Amino acid sequence: MGFLEKVSEFTARLLTIDVEIKSLKTEASEIRQQSNALDQKLDRLEQRFNEADRQLTQRLDELGNRVTRLEAQRDADHSQMQNDIERFKLEVERAEMRLRRQLPPSDQGSNENPNTN
């Protein structure tokens, strides 16, 4: 194999390598574009995630506040109900006392509740 043949073979190899390099550059460029597109999609997804997280956190805070208000209202209602029951008991006792005063003395012994002893 002579010098010219070697140079010709070397040149052919260089051309093949050059074509492969251009192909790799094109592929790298496409990968870069896909990577940029994926980055943009990821950014949009991250924004959506952050917005959803913010909304959920806000909703949880609102629900927590609502539970606190409902518990306070429940406690207030319970206290009011207890007060109403106590007031009713006092009214019943007063009514019983008025009735006892209005009954003749002979009827008072026969109308007593046997469970009060």
> Left, alpha or beta for 2 (phi > 0: left; psi -120 to 50: alpha)?
beta
pLDDT at position 104 is 80
pLDDT at position 3 is 86
33-68 pLDDT tens trace: 999 999 999 999 999 999 999 999 999 999 999 999
pLDDT at position 103 is 85
- Check if the beta carbon of residue 100 is closer than 8 Å to that of residue 108: yes
Write the DSSP symbol of residue 117.
Answer: -
67-93 pLDDT tens trace: 999 999 999 999 999 999 999 999 999
pLDDT at position 24 is 96
Question: Would you state the structure tokens that stand for residue 106, as one six-digit string?
Answer: 């002979």
